[in-house]
């Protein structure tokens, strides 16, 4: 199941922007010089041309196919990344006297809660803040009158992931920025999904939004034109000039994903990578995982060492072996191995081999 797509000697565990398939780099580089023999670079291609309209249409179609979306769900490629969605979601779904339910499972969920409070009441129905977000809360209730429930499916900084999506009769909204298209889900269960592209589906600069059009159009307040999802749906994600190159890189990555066998094959590969890393971690007392085992992320494995001097030494060993992006976020410390779709099993094998060797020599 290993996918070889990285330059020799480099193993990219960056949390984002992150590893992409090497074939995507090659195709994107060629398109910068000459897009499909047109004599024009993709960087200077007009977004209203038939050539780019075909790019956008294929990218949206691939998302619908890979996620097995029904006719009610629309696919958009928008500016602003996931951070813009922290405000755009409540702006479109929440009136000022209504309540939305939010789960607080990490920095990005907390930021989304802060923005939602500008538009209505954001009720925090569960939180793991008191433990520095080391687990996913299990027992919580969502108010029946909540306009929607918002979850962050994977927490990049802390290394937790919702292994079971909550069942709710409310509208379900999910930030899937760091695990989009990494595992098989019933994506039609979600009424709105958003995901910054730069972790699993493309380059930084564009945000994927999947929205059930039936939940839109009930807000009483005026919505600025550029912030209204309905306008973007009507204009096919080209209400204004889209981030042309970033969308094109998404298209190339989506084509690659389809060619690998789709989301089910990615899930198998991601499970194999996560199993190898966590089994190794648990077998070496010199390292220690930071989150509850049942909530461990398949995308971002976070772990520490009790001796800071050893952490520095291990980072040096990783650097010498061509492993990049392994240093943990300042909120947690230690190490973070991000294992997105395009990361090969070979790279995880190199990392776990180093962990075993280091533990034998220094543990």
Report, in angstroms and rounded to the nearest whole number, the Rg of the chain calculated over CA atoms: 21
Catalytic residue of the set 104, 162, 175, 273: 175
Tell me which residue has tokens 């989150």.
291
Respond yes or no: is residue 316 known to be catalytic.
Answer: no
Respond yes or no: is residue 108 known to be catalytic.
Answer: yes
Catalytic residue of the set 179, 191, 199, 295: 199
Respond yes or no: is residue 228 known to be catalytic.
Answer: no
Catalytic residue of the set 104, 108, 191, 295: 108
- Comparing CA positions, the residue from 3, 66, 61, 18 lying closest to residue 263 is 66
The residues annotated as belonging to the active site are 108, 175, 199
């Amino acid at each position: 199941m290993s996918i070889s797509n990285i330059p020799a000697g480099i193993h990219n565990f960056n949390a984002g922007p992150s590893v992409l398939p090497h074939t995507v780099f090659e195709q994107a580089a060629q398109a910068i010089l000459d897009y499909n023999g047109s004599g024009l670079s993709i960087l200077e291609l007009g977004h209203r041309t038939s050539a780019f309209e075909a790019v956008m249409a294929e990218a949206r179609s691939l998302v619908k196919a890979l996620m097995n979306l029904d006719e009610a769900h629309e696919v958009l490629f928008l500016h602003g990344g996931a951070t813009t969605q922290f405000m755009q979601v409540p702006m479109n779904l929440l009136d000022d006297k209504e309540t939305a339910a939010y789960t607080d499972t990490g920095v990005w969920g907390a930021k989304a809660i802060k923005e939602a409070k500008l538009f209505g009441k954001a009720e925090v129905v569960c939180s793991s803040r008191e433990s520095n977000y080391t687990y996913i809360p299990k027992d919580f209730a969502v108010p029946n009158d909540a306009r929607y429930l918002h979850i962050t499916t994977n927490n990049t900084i802390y290394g937790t992931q919702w292994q079971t999506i909550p069942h709710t009769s409310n509208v379900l909204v999910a930030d899937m920025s760091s695990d989009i298209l990494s595992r098989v889900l019933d994506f039609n269960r979600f009424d709105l999904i958003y995901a910054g592209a730069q972790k699993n589906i493309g380059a930084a600069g564009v945000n994927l939004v999947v929205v059930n059009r039936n939940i839109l159009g009930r807000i009483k307040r005026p919505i600025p034109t550029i912030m209204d999802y309905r306008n973007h749906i009507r204009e096919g994600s080209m209400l204004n000039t889209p981030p042309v190159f970033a969308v094109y890189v998404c298209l190339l990555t989506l084509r690659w994903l389809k060619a690998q066998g789709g989301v089910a094959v990615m899930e198998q590969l991601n499970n194999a990578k996560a199993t190898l890393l966590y089994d190794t971690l648990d077998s070496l007392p010199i390292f220690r995982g930071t989150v509850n085992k049942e909530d461990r992320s398949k995308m971002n494995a976070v772990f520490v060492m009790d001796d800071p001097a050893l952490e520095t030494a291990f980072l040096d060993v990783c650097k010498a072996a061509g492993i990049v992006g392994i240093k943990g976020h300042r909120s947690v410390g230690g190490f973070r191995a991000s294992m997105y779709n395009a990361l090969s099993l070979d790279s995880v094998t190199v990392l776990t081999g180093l962990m075993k060797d280091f533990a034998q020599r220094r543990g």
